[in-house]
Every structure is written in structure tokens, then in C-alpha cells.
């Protein structure tokens, strides 16, 4: 009888171990995007200012998704730190993978991007504020209606004086 009293505590301990085994992306039924490793370099020259940079777009889809998702990238811009105002839009992007991209359930796809843009010289001051900037955009996930927004963490561009 003494061993039976310990049974509820043992079962509770085992159930907490099992819950801890569920994967991080278990509940991701729509594509979950992340912008990682953003870089932007600002160069002011005789003919104006140029902006170059890169970032990685990671797309995650969990095992409970209803099927694969076809992802199309929308507009990408450089925004202010609070991600409320676009500072530079119409970025020219080159990716390592052609779009649309298919993301299978229980998988992750990472795409490298390079960006390039000639900008008005007056924009340089706004980009170089100490608060920092973000790379932000939208994408369309075929598993849901409407666009999904994504933004990088705040970072500071190089080349600012």
C-alpha cells in the first residue's frame, strides 16, 4: 500500500517530462518567419549615397501544419527602430533561392538575401540615428489568408559618421 501512495507523484513527474519533449515548432501551423543576421552599410560618394547589406530569412513550419506552404515574399524596407516608419523602401533584393519557396511541414528553410539601393543623401542622417534600424517586410503564406509581417531585431548600420 505504501508504494501506491507515491504513484500520483510519479505519474505527475513523468507527464512533465513528456510535455518537455514536445518540439519548439509543434504548434506552428502557419509559416513563422524570422529575419536574422541583418547588415546594412551606408556609403556617401560624389554621386550620392548607396546602401548595401544582407540578411537571412528563415521560414519554419511545424509538424501539425495541414500540408506544405508556398511562400511568396512581399515588400521589404528599412524601417525605424520601433518599426513604425519606412525609411528606405523599394529595396533591390537578390536571393540565393528563387521565389516562391515551398516549406514542408516539420521543416525550416533559410534564404540568404543581398540588398542594394541608391538613396538620397538626406536619408543617411535618418538611417544613422543612434536608435538603430530594422529590416522589415511581408510575406504571403499559402496556408493562411492575408500577409504575414516580419522584422529583424534593431541594429545599427556601418558607414555612419
Assigned CATH class of 32-151: mainly beta
Confidence class of residue 161 from pLDDT cuts 50, 70 and 90? confident
Beta-carbon neighbour count of residue 112 at 10 Å? 13
- Is the per-residue pLDDT at 20 higher than 80? no
90/78 Cα distance (integer angstroms): 9
Longest dimension (CA), the chain: 88
What pLDDT is attached to residue 47? 76
What pLDDT is attached to residue 65? 86
Confidence class of residue 86 from pLDDT cuts 50, 70 and 90? very high
- Is the per-residue pLDDT at 154 higher than 90? yes
**DSSP conformation letters of the chain:** -HHHHHHHHHHHHHHHHHHTTS-TTTT--S-EEEEEEEEEEEEEETTEEEEEEEEEEEEEE-TTSSS-EEEEEEEEEEEETTS-SEEE-S-EEEESSPSSEEE-TTEEEEEEEEEEEEE-HHHHHHHT-TT-EEEEEEEEETTSSSEEEEEPPPB--BS--
42-46, 54-58, 79-83, 136-140: least confident range: 42-46
- Is the per-residue pLDDT at 149 higher than 90? yes
Confidence class of residue 136 from pLDDT cuts 50, 70 and 90? very high
134 by Cβ neighbours in 10 Å (0-12 / 13-18 / 19+) ranks as: buried
Higher pLDDT, 7 or 37: 37
128/53 Cα distance (integer angstroms): 14
Percent of the chain with pLDDT over 90: 66
What pLDDT is attached to residue 27? 53
What pLDDT is attached to residue 122? 84
85's CB contacts (< 8 A; 6+ apart) are: 79
Whole-prediction pTM value? 0.80
What pLDDT is attached to residue 46? 79
Amino acid at each position: 500500500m505504501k508504494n501506491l501512495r507515491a504513484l500520483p507523484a510519479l505519474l505527475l513527474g513523468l507527464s512533465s517530462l513528456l510535455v518537455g519533449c514536445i518540439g519548439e515548432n509543434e504548434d506552428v501551423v502557419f509559416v513563422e518567419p524570422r529575419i536574422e543576421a541583418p547588415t546594412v552599410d551606408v556609403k556617401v560618394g560624389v554621386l550620392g549615397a548607396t546602401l548595401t547589406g544582407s540578411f537571412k530569412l528563415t521560414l519554419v513550419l511545424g509538424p501539425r501544419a495541414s500540408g506544405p506552404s508556398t511562400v511568396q515574399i512581399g515588400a521589404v524596407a528599412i524601417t525605424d527602430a520601433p518599426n513604425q516608419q519606412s525609411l528606405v523602401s523599394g529595396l533591390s533584393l537578390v536571393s540565393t533561392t528563387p521565389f516562391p519557396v515551398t516549406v514542408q511541414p516539420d521543416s525550416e528553410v533559410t534564404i540568404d538575401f543581398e540588398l542594394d539601393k541608391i538613396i538620397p543623401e538626406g536619408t543617411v542622417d535618418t538611417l544613422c540615428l543612434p536608435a538603430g534600424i530594422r529590416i522589415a517586410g511581408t510575406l504571403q503564406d499559402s496556408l493562411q489568408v492575408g500577409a504575414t509581417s516580419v522584422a529583424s531585431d534593431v541594429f545599427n548600420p556601418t558607414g555612419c559618421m
